[in-house]
Structure 1
Amino acid sequence: MEGVTFPPDRPLINVSQAAPVDPPPEGMRQAIAEAALKDASAHLYGPVLGLPDLRSELAAKTSRIYGGTIREGQVAITAGCNQAFCAITATLAAPGDEVILPTPWYFNHKMWLDMSGVKAVPLPCGAGLLPDPDQAKALITPATRAIVLVSPNNPCGVEYPAPLLRAFYDLAKAHGIALIVDETYRDFHAAPDAPHDLFSDPDWDSTLIQLYSFSKAYRLTGHRVGAALTSPARLAQVEKFLDTVTICPNQLGQRAALWGMRNLDQWLAGERDEILARRTAMETGTLPGWDLLGCGAYFGYFRHPFDLPSDELAPKLVRDAGILALPGTMFRPASDPAGGHEMRIAFANIDSQGIADLFARLRGFAP
């Protein structure tokens, strides 16, 4: 974007970031202000694994959504879901170990594994951008420590069916490795029922690790509040990581998340309805030549029709069409040519009319 101007009649359409830019609802902002003014403890160090009330509330809500039993001692609050992933993988894998990531992958997962000296083993997704448990089984070696799934998926938007998640859970359990399921976008899942039943297993925490984000649900991105659900024994190790990195999660953000869980169910249902309406607009819009490969949560993942590779197409879209979107090369290994044909469009911050305007620009674009 540097050096590019966007005329008033063609302002920038930013579909690059999968996070809301609007502030939290006013009631939550008032609760944050009250905590800042009247709760002296909100300005001090707190428990490394998070406020007990928030841990307990998330455990109870997750139990209601999924069934099964989740206890406070199986919940850690983190400085965002990215930190939850970093802390969890630090307890699982050391340099030279391996973690299986379906591709297209979330680039921050890949980047953290690279920084940690852990080998990210790509698992190419097949039809419908769904990973195959049998293909994953063929990739497991003595060095494998975990399989990571993101559902609803970033970058593809695809929601993994419950039987598929169960098959991966059984695979991980049989091989004594962890199954990490990042459910950052679970509040915008299209299905009204629980996304899976994995928490119904009495010993779920010996295999399953769920990651969650309050940022997307309550527009708390700047407050950095996420969570990891796993065994108390693993959380004892997670606590060491967190204590040396952040000491404790954001105190005001935690209080905001707790207030939101207790007061904003109806508001959040409306947010979900709006995101699902945007998903419908993405799925039903007219965009000749562009193939919609996956859609859901905040994302539409497309195969573009141009000969230009996506990492060259993306800057041209900024300059010539006023569209900022991420190229598929960011979500695949450098050796995978598919990334050059793909683009991610995140519709977190454009409504149905904005999607129509986006499609109109793309229809008129020629590189």
Structure 2
Amino acid sequence: MPATEAAEVRPTALGSVDLVPVFPALAFERMVGMQYPAGDPSRLYVVLQEGRIVSVANHANADSHRVFLDITDRVSRAGNEEGLLGLAFDPQFLDSGHFYVYYSAAGPRRSILSRFTAVGGQVDHASELVVLEVGQPYSNHNGGEIAFGPDGFLYVALGDGGRAGDPMGHGQNKATLLGSILRIDVAPLDEQGLYSVPPDNPFAGDPQARGEIWAWGLRNPWRFSFDRLTGDLWTADVGQNLYEEIDLILPGANYGWNLMEGFDCYGASDCSRDGLTLPVIEYGREDGCSVTGGYVYRGSRLQSLYGAYVYGDFCSGKIWALRYEAGSVTAHALIADTDLQIASFAEGPDGELYVLSFTGRVYGFSEADSRG
């Protein structure tokens, strides 16, 4: 896909929000995700980087949690960015009991995508079926988001393998899974845990590329999501030294790393943009240093945000919303300025959004108090 130039962004009032604690009696350190299984909104499942998943009742008065999965003995936390990083419930979880996790392991250093099975609400820890293992040369840029798309396939985000500047050139190498978002078919897995590559993947059958790749040229995609109404796939991609970016993911698209950082050439005064897909939007170090992807808001409480993509920054605690229509950003605004380390966003069964603070709390959105 050809590159596009940066569009002029016209800030408009998308509506500011306040953040309110959702489970005021509970706190979890190093939260990196929160999910729920389709068809069962009664409990939310919180992913903790240390290697545990805990569930809480989906109501504001929840004051206790249950341990759903504990694989701390299998998860490597040797690096600050390593750990248990992703959770996705099988769309048929209520019948099959299957769910998937993405975690870091050591000896050798690698990222693992595994399936576990729960029976009667209890996880059989011996049920682990390793679906995918990807070697990681360094401890950072692990990606980690996993989610089932509206097409029923499992999408997996992988960073470039780490270290500054992508020294091994993974971002522009379709022969490796690193630096990509993958799309695989896990329904069903065979008894060895082997998945299949959907035949309509953009590089299926290409001997020069890994067929699992859906999109590539990414540095460290930290949290992607599907718009529950349109099916559009959005991701944040953490930058190197200058720019953070938001991308709309298209099949086969090359997002430019390590040729580009945001809209600018990386490590060079000029570079070819031919064949590259540039970001929807970028921001610089004055606004943060590590972007966290969110969701397109499809809830009912905040009409001013309906249809806008909401995202934030781990370092600055800022939260923005943008509208993207006909290939252009038509509105963009800072909607909250917090002191949180925003590790992730989550979407509830009703389309309402949550903010997960790395230091312990889950927050929800409410209309900002306009009183002086």
TM-score (norm 2): 0.29
Q: Which of 1 and 2 has greater Rg? A: 1
| Structure with the largest fraction of strand | 2
